[in-house]
Amino acid sequence: MAGRFPEVRPRRLRRTAALRRLVAQTSVRGADLVLPLFVKEGIPEPVPVASMPGVLQHTRDSLRKAAADAAEAGVGGLILFGIPAVKDGRGSAADAQDGIIQAALRDVAAEVGDDVVIMADLCLCEYTDHGHCGVLTPSGTVDNDATLERYAATAVAQARAGAHVVAPSGMMDGQVAAIRRALDEAGEPDVAICAYAVKYASSFYGPFRDAAEGAPQFGDRASYQQDPSAGDALREAMLDVAEGADIVIVKPALPYLDIVAQVAAAAPVPVAAYQVSGEYAMIEAAAAQGWLDRDRAIMETLTGIKRAGAGIILTYWAAEVAHHL
């Protein structure tokens, strides 16, 4: 019949794997991925994290090897978490020149140089004996302004140890401005800030707290992390951008893909999403039971996070996935 449109068959472009690759609008690259790594002071050999199969608390030597292997696989970055041998109320090891995180940063910088981006988690929960992300008042609440002073000192120590990027994750008000000012005054203006701008008080962090040994010894972090039902994600993200954040993170990833999309649409800086320990552990546990296809599930979740708008994805599968891409 004249004027009739041709029959539309979307399945034509799904018929073969090559066709599907050709028309794909979302792809995950190794360079998009950041690998979290844990290094623990004083252990003679790497320690497996029981709740995160395949993840280790590294020694300094095994950390160097893991960093080199990840760089060779083609990951975009590494983010380091330090676990000190001694903790105290102010997290003194966090900015100590000979502290585990500074030593680890120097080790990794010597191993991989500028081949990958070296990021340092900037928080106090791994370093305090109470497990909270900052300095406490006598009544046991987190003192925001006193904590900013500790973050500033830690940022400078991490920058001088070789971090290309510092990543404040404590969700203190004004943390980005305090850190930017401290870095600039210390002669480290080129060190970038990747701010945990939208970090929820989530149930998905449990395995991480095993790995980083940073669970709070009392109470919780609901007074400084965001509530899952709150609507202040964009406000938090844009405040961090205004204070000088070079990258902003949404954490966790999968339960908050709508937030990733909102922040990506509004923020004038790159947006990252952290596929957190609970997300990792769920897939590993289900795959171990034979309930799902592990490799397909990994790639499906990473593709979903990328499709939502995250240009950078922090994931414990980073090196494995980059190796196969």
Taking the CB of residue 175, how many other CB atoms lie within 10 A of it?
A: 29
Q: Which helix (H) or strand (E) holds 134?
A: none
Cβ neighbors of 201 (< 8 A, separation 6 or more) are 220, 221, 222, 225, 226, 227, 228
The C-alpha atoms of residue 124 and residue 270 are separated, in whole angstroms, by 25
Strands 77-83 and 33-40: parallel
Look up 40 and say whether it is catalytic. no
The C-alpha atoms of residue 266 and residue 235 are separated, in whole angstroms, by 10
- Name the catalytic one among 40, 87, 199, 306: 199
Question: In this structure, are residues 193 and 176 in contact, taking their beta carbons and an 8 Å threshold?
Answer: yes
Most distant CA pair in the chain, distance: 83
Q: Give the total residue count for the chain.
A: 325
- Name the catalytic one among 40, 65, 87, 251: 251
Nearest alpha-carbon partner for 95 in 155, 149, 135: 155
The C-alpha atoms of residue 206 and residue 14 are separated, in whole angstroms, by 39
The C-alpha atoms of residue 124 and residue 168 are separated, in whole angstroms, by 10
Look up 251 and say whether it is catalytic. yes
Catalytic positions, please? 199, 251
